[in-house]
Chains A and B, each alone.
Chain A
């Protein structure tokens, strides 16, 4: 029997802890050196790490069998937020169940890839089944979009799409998808997207247009990043962030602090670290011979990677401002827990393969 210490891929685990450690250093600056806020996040992270270890003990087969449950769970909590949700910043994103208040769309980031992976593992290569794959993805995505939470919808949608593509899709289906996208995007623009979401996209395309309004975030975060130069202004020395020119610099725009205080070295290092974590999981996924485990690994790590890329892309001005946190670094509880649980599940998926 293998020893207990070898049930984890130590390389992946080290990368994750390095990433979390750097994240805490950045967040200390991001909270403007507010110790109580930092402690709250630290306790959340500790709790999340515990959850990660718990999740790594789950048997993949049990999870596979719960696919249907995960799907309906996703639908129910999304409907619940639609019916009972409390709004934050004009969007119904929060669900208050007495003890805790959380964002259901964050939970869907975990449950939907699991549900989709079970289905992709189960389905045979027929048109109807492919259609069902897309439906499993589309229904929750639409529910998130009308909350409205464009960022999470895009994130979950593209994650699911990548899972479907990985599982193998006939070329006629790919052609149909492209055709659908071309017709659906104008429809979404005129019927589903809210004005402020449209404004963000317009602003993204032309940030100078309204510098004190929607474009202010992008302009200020670009100034923060750009003024960091090669080596940055030094930890805690960022003027854009600490003098409050950069809004939300503890949450969605925390990457601005990386750019401002640690410069090009810092931004490149964080991006490469995210890529390294992702690659480590995908390299192991190559060795896995069971499709379900592969789908889960690819889906959950894609979720992490795309979440990071969309956030960073938004802060450096190559994506619209969509309100997606930087995983594990931005201040906030739900997204950190979900991500750490996702990583725990990835550990459970790869446990039987790491020693080979």
Chain B
């Protein structure tokens, strides 16, 4: 055993110090590892997962739209196209058997399958798939279905049912969890949430009736709504002019002038504001009876005009109608009778009546962009026009002109209310939905609106409206000669150009034509169907159009069980 010198003893002490130093350094490292791995594990684990896990969405396929009888109206299609490069151009040309100069050539499904099945070809040809919404009877259905288009994988609804029921149609996207490396390679983890495809929407619309209505309403501007008063189901809803839903995205791309000129996206049935004209006379009469302004037997001597405050208001028949009672007033659409009622009722009672029948309010139909119309009041005029309300204003309001504006769908509700003698169902287009597993859902509660007036008053009004058609003197009689069913209705004509047509630059002669309106229901005793027709600036009469529609309805659809009472 060596005896350590003082020098080596000093060195040994310093080595102990070094050992302590190394121990402390090691503990510092372990402490930092503890900090990273034990204390902050969650944080760093999240960062690590965030680094390499990426969720990509799998788009669901959009729901189909079918009519009440299951006829397909809208579905999805996938279009394939091949990317053309310098390398594969000869190959693609040989497959297609034609020369091509574009970078992207459309492929038929047959060719696509041929390429995909051949692995040698599949390696060389890059196939892109684009999704497309395919609309059938697209021009006829446009007012109901609207349109939308795919931007890449995402569908953007723009109008109509496509937009209103987007939540039902679009489904839920699924997710695929991918492993991503820092170098960009992708690998499936096998973990995914499958997409839920959109539900099929069944409409209350009858495709054949809708097509017929579209064909019949051969005018530049007009609107028709056909509705079942017993449940609020809309059987046909047509607004002219119309567009082809399939073409609209392209039209926007090409800045097609048709879009601006005709405003075809404007749906006249729900947004078109028109003066309802004489079609609202039944409401005035009902209200006058209900508020005891007149008795049922109230009659006047009509000389063809009425003078109020030094102003002469003319009847549409210059000589007048002679002795006129309420029934006749509606049947022949006697203006003078209603001028007198106006004077007796006053504007407040009249505007109240309009509001009670739903004018000036949205009906709540399941389509976007519905207008509420306008029921004028003295306050409204003071506020908007800065002028006082005159008796003359009351008088022209009573015959459905002046500032009073309504939509065709509102008139349909008014007609339903009268035909049902006191209630109507909110008009709707959704009959039901069928989800991906086949479960059917009915739309939740359809709102029923009730106006409990005296049944005798309703009966009187309905009898008057029946006479409009059945009595040889009735304003609608001529249009409904030789019919095989009973009809009640009311015609209307407005001399003033409608709110909307003021913007159009239609030819002048046509522009001077009156708007023609018809509201009606049939059969008279147990109403099954309501027709409201508006024809703007045309020689074609709304009553003629309605007659053809009702003829078609009773010929082709009355056997349909769902329509029968």
Contact = CB atoms under 8 A, between A and B. Distances in A.
B41 interface: yes
Interface in B1-35: 1-2, 4-5, 7-8, 10-12, 14-16, 18-19, 22-23, 25-26, 28-30, 32-34
A243 interface: yes
14 contacts: A223-B44, A223-B47, A226-B37, A227-B44, A239-B52, A243-B52, A243-B180, A245-B181, A271-B26, A282-B18, A294-B11, A309-B26, A316-B32, A316-B36
A275 interface: yes
A230 B37 contact: yes
Question: Dominant SS at the B interface?
Answer: helix
Contacts of A245: 48, 51-52, 181-182
Given A168-B11, A168-B14, A244-B181, A272 B44 contact: no
A264 B11 contact: no
Contacts of B247: none
Nearest to A165: B14
Contacts of A291: 7-8, 11
A237 B10 CA distance: 50
B40 interface: yes
B101 interface: no
A30 to B, nearest CB: 16
A92 interface: no
Contacts of A317: 32, 36
Contacts of A285: 15
A289 interface: yes
Question: Dominant SS at the A interface?
Answer: helix
Contact of A243 (B14, B34, B51): B51
B504 interface: no
A279 B32 contact: no
A240 B51 contact: yes
A272 B26 contact: yes
A316 B180 contact: no
Interface residues of B, number: 42
* Max chain A C-beta neighbours (<10 A), residue from B11, B12, B23, B48: B48
Interface of B: 1-2, 4-5, 7-8, 10-12, 14-16, 18-19, 22-23, 25-26, 28-30, 32-34, 36-38, 40-41, 43-45, 47-49, 51-52, 179-183
Nearest to A242: B181
Contacts of B48: 223-224, 226-227, 239-240, 245
A240 B49 CA distance: 9
Contacts of A222: 36, 44
A333 interface: no
Given A166-B18, A316-B33, A226 B44 contact: yes
Contacts of A223: 44, 47-48, 51
Nearest to A260: B48
A312 interface: yes
A205 to B, nearest CB: 15
A323 interface: no
Nearest to A283: B19
Interface string A215-245: 0000010111111111000000001100111
A294 B37 contact: no
Contact of A230 (B18, B38, B43, B44): B38
